[in-house]
Amino acid sequence: MRLLRVAIRGWGFIETCRFENKSLPSRMTLDLQQLEAFSTIVRVGSLGRAAAALNVTQPALSRTVKRLEEKIGAPLFERHSKGMLLTEIGRALAPRATVLEAEAQQAMEEINALRGLARGTIRVGAVASVACFVLPMAIGNLLKTWPGLKIEVIEGVWDVLASALTNHEIDLALGVDAPDTDEIVAIRDCHWEDSSYVVAASDHPLRLKDGLKLGDTLEEQWAILPKGTGPRAHLEWVFAGHGLGLPKIVVETRSITVLKSLIADSGFLSWMAEPMYQAERRANVIDALPIPGISSTRSLVAFRRRRGNLPSPSSKLLDELRKSTKDR
């Protein structure tokens, strides 16, 4: 087995791969067009769809892939009537090609940002409570100083955000504090807290009950995020802490919009962090049930990939988020 060091021309990126092929050269240069062609075929599964996505002809794309295979000295795909399947060497190259493409794009955006101090794209993901309050304020303040920046935001539970961060779909993730991993680390000087409650519509019948207790909610219809998510685990912990089993969970959904609609319009109960329903509370639509002692606080932090530099535009957002930490 020997090492294959892949250098991306013009950027100085070096990636080391291991392949079971002694005839391969120890060092070779690939260009970004070839990597983009390869990654697009991997993503969409066929030469025709990839050509359409890249706005090139199928023969031209096929020639680009052929040149890449000639440089590597081995086929990357097995051609089938149903599409393109990766060879063993193709499977080894695929994740590295994705990383190198992302690094090249980030490098170009950082250069643009340094040139004009107002260019670049920020890709950030956040759990709902941060996406509803902290993040919009930080973005608004950031754009007052850097109006040329573009911001892409995804909202999701932690497993979705962690995957997006690892796969270079986002550069910052804002979620519930969790242990560092081999790929993701927390930025713990950028942190917040929120409190979660049992929430219901403003006219829910339980609000009329004297001495309302958590046990009174057990037979009500509940809508909550699914198993494996932080809020679901939080709910289970609260009920177990009061010596209770789980309530009657009728609907599980990752959609915060669906949850709020079920609470406001269909009489469901849910477990929700306070920032997530601030607007509905101000409109007197949704609020916490008056159950004494039923709230729980959690810590939230920013996360980044362990390896590589944080792109300059994302660093600017991180600085703004840190300011919000100090202001709270």
pLDDT tens, 209-266?
999 999 999 999 999 999 888 888 889 999 999 999 999 999 999 899 999 999 999 9
Lowest-confidence pick of 60-69, 195-204, 258-267: 60-69
Which pLDDT value is given to residue 2?
A: 34
Q: How far apart are CA 256 and CA 277, in angstroms?
A: 10
**Contact present, 164 and 311 (Cβ < 8 Å):** no
**Domains of the chain and any CATH numbers:** 2-110 (1.10.10.10), 114-192+300-327 (3.40.190.10), 193-296 (3.40.190.10)
Which pLDDT value is given to residue 119?
A: 58
pLDDT-derived band at 307 (thresholds 50, 70, 90) equals confident
Of the two residues 99 and 161, the one the predictor is more confident about is: 161
At 298, phi and psi to the nearest 5? -130, 160
Which pLDDT value is given to residue 27?
A: 53
Rg (CA), the chain: 25
Q: Which residues, including other chains, have CB under 8 Å from residue 142's CB and lie 6 or more apart?
A: 149, 316, 317, 320
DSSP 214: G
Beta strands in 33-180 (DSSP E): 77-80, 83-86, 121-126, 150-155, 172-176
Lowest-confidence pick of 190-199, 233-242, 269-278, 305-314: 305-314
| Cα 227 off chain centre by | 18
Residue 196: beta bridge partners?
Answer: 273, 296
pLDDT mean across residues, the chain? 83
Residue 15 has pLDDT above 80, yes or no: no
pLDDT-derived band at 108 (thresholds 50, 70, 90) equals low
Which pLDDT value is given to residue 13?
A: 37
